[in-house]
C-alpha cells in the first residue's frame, strides 16, 4: 500500500463568514508497510488530515492517492466502500458501540465492507490482542486499555492496507500506553499494514524510525 498526498488544502467556515485554513500539504508519502508517526500540537490539523485521507472529510483541493486510487475523486458511496475495505481506524476515545460486545464490535467493523462478517477471524483477532477471554463483554465491562485493544482488533477486521491511528494512547494510562503501541506496531507488521499514527506525545514518537512533524509540511497560513 502506498499513500501519496499532493497539494491538499482544507479550510473550515467561520461563524462570521470567513474561512479558517487547516491543511495545506504540498506533498506527503507513505510507503507500503511503512510505519510513520505524525507529531503535532493540538488543533494543528492532525485529525482533519486523517479524516481527509480516510475520505470522511472532503478536501477543498488536492489529491489523496492510496494504492493508485485517487480517493478524493471518488464519490461518497465509493469512498465509504473504499474506507471500509482498505482503511482501519483506531480512535483516541476507542469509539466502541456500547450495546455491542467486544466480538460484536469487531464483527461490526466487517459489516460494512461488503465482504460479509467472519466470526472466526474476529475471534482470532481478539485472541491476538489478548482478549479471547473477554470477547462477550461489553465496552463498559472492559478497562480502557482493553477497549483500545478491541478497537485495534476492529480496525484490522477487514484486512486493511492502511491503519490510521489518532492519538491511540492518549486515553489510556501510562502502563497501557506501551502495550497498546507495541500491539499496534506488531499487528501492522504481521499483516503488512501501513501505519500512520498521529500523536502529540514525544515519548510515543520516539519509538518510531520515521517521525514527521506536521508543521514541517503543513502550512495552512500559506493558503
Q: Which residues bind another protein (CB under 8 A)?
A: 47-48, 51, 54, 56-57, 76-77, 80-81, 83-85, 89, 91, 95-100, 104, 107-113, 117, 154, 158
Smallest distance, another protein to C-beta of residue 105, A: 9
Nearer to another protein, 93 or 215 (CB): 93
Nearer to another protein, 82 or 211 (CB): 82
161 φ/ψ angles, rounded to the nearest 5 degrees: -90, -25
Q: Determine the straight-line distance between the first and last CA of the chain, rounded to whole angstroms.
A: 29
CA 60 → CA 67, 114, 216, distances in Å?
22, 29, 20
Smallest distance, another protein to C-beta of residue 46, A: 12
By the 8 A CB rule, do 63 and 8 touch?
Answer: yes
CA 197 → CA 14, 75, 82, 132, 214, distances in Å?
28, 26, 20, 26, 12
Smallest distance, another protein to C-beta of residue 97, A: 6
Nearer to another protein, 81 or 191 (CB): 81
Nearer to another protein, 200 or 207 (CB): 200
Say if strands 162-166 and 87-90 run parallel, antiparallel, or are unpaired.
parallel
Smallest distance, another protein to C-beta of residue 108, A: 6
Amino acid at each position: 500500500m502506498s499513500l501519496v498526498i499532493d497539494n491538499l488544502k482544507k479550510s473550515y467556515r467561520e461563524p462570521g463568514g470567513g474561512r479558517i485554513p487547516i491543511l495545506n500539504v504540498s506533498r506527503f508519502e507513505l510507503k507500503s508497510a511503512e510505519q510513520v508517526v505524525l507529531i503535532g500540537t493540538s488543533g494543528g490539523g492532525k485529525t482533519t488530515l486523517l479524516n481527509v485521507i480516510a475520505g470522511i472529510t472532503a478536501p477543498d483541493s488536492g489529491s489523496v492517492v492510496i494504492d493508485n486510487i485517487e480517493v478524493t475523486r471518488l464519490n461518497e458511496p465509493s469512498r465509504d466502500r473504499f474506507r471500509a475495505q482498505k482503511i482501519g481506524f483506531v480512535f483516541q476515545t476507542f469509539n466502541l458501540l456500547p450495546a455491542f460486545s467486544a466480538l460484536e464490535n469487531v464483527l461490526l467493523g466487517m459489516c460494512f465492507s461488503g465482504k460479509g462478517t467472519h466470526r472466526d477471524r474476529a475471534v482470532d483477532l481478539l485472541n491476538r490482542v489478548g482478549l479471547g477471554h473477554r470477547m462477550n463483554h461489553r465496552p463498559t465491562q472492559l478497562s480502557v486499555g482493553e477497549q483500545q485493544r478491541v478497537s485495534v482488533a476492529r480496525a484490522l477486521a477487514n484486512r486493511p492496507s492502511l491503519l490510521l491511528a489518532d492519538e491511540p494512547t492518549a486515553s489510556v494510562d501510562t502502563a497501557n500506553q506501551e502495550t497498546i503501541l507495541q500491539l499496534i506496531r506488531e499487528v501492522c507488521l504481521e499483516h503488512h499494514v501501513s501505519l500512520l499514527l498521529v500523536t502529540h506525545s514525544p515519548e510515543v514518537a520516539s519509538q518510531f524510525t520515521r517521525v514527521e512533524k506536521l508543521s514541517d509540511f503543513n502550512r495552512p497560513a500559506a493558503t
